Amino acid sequence: MSRITLKDSIMDVVMKMTEGNPGALTVVGDLIKKNAAIDPDSALGPLSAVLALDELQIYESDIWILYKYVCEMNLTTLVALLRAKQLGHVSSSAIKDAVRAGKDHTLNTEELVTGVKDYLKDFGRNEPEEKQTT
C-alpha cells in the first residue's frame, strides 16, 4: 500500500518515504530537485521518481541500497530504472530482488538505461552533474 496521498506536502512526502534515514533523505531530496531535468517527459515532474518508489513500496534504507548498490550512486540510472519499470522493460519483482541482493544484484542497469534513452529521446539530455554521496 502506498504511503503518499494527494494531501501530502513535499515535506510529508519526504518524511513518509525516508522515515529520517540519512541516505534515503539525500536520494529523495536529489530526486525532487533533479528528476524534471533528467526526465523532462515525466508527467509529474519533480515527484515522478519518488511516486514510482512509493508504488514499488521501496522506502527508507532500501532507497539508499537501490541508489548505492543497484544504481552505483548514479541518479540518472535510478530515474531510468524507475522509468524502465513504467515502460515494461523490467518488473517490480526484479527491482525488489535487486534491492534485497544489494551489492550482489544481477540486474543489468546499463542495458535498462540504454533502453529508456532509446525510447525517450529527451531522457538524460539535461542531466545534472553527478555528486557522489557516500
- Residue ranges per structural domain of the chain: 10-119
CA distance 33 to 128: 10
Cell of 106: 544481477
Residue-wise pLDDT tens digits, 5-50 = 999 999 999 999 999 999 999 999 999 999 999 999 999 888 999 9
Q: Tell whether pTM > 0.85.
A: yes
pLDDT band at 129 (very low <50, low <70, confident <90, very high): low
CA distance 15 to 25: 8
H/E stretch holding 125 reads none
Give the largest CA-CA distance in the chain.
38
Residue-wise pLDDT tens digits, 53-86 = 999 999 999 999 999 999 999 999 999 999 999 9
| pLDDT number for residue 45 | 87
| pLDDT number for residue 126 | 79
pLDDT(3) > 70: yes
Sequence-distant (6+) residues with CB within 8 A of 107 are: 70, 81, 90, 94, 95, 97, 98
Using CA of residue 31, residue 65, residue 57, residue 4, what is the dihedral sign? Answer: negative
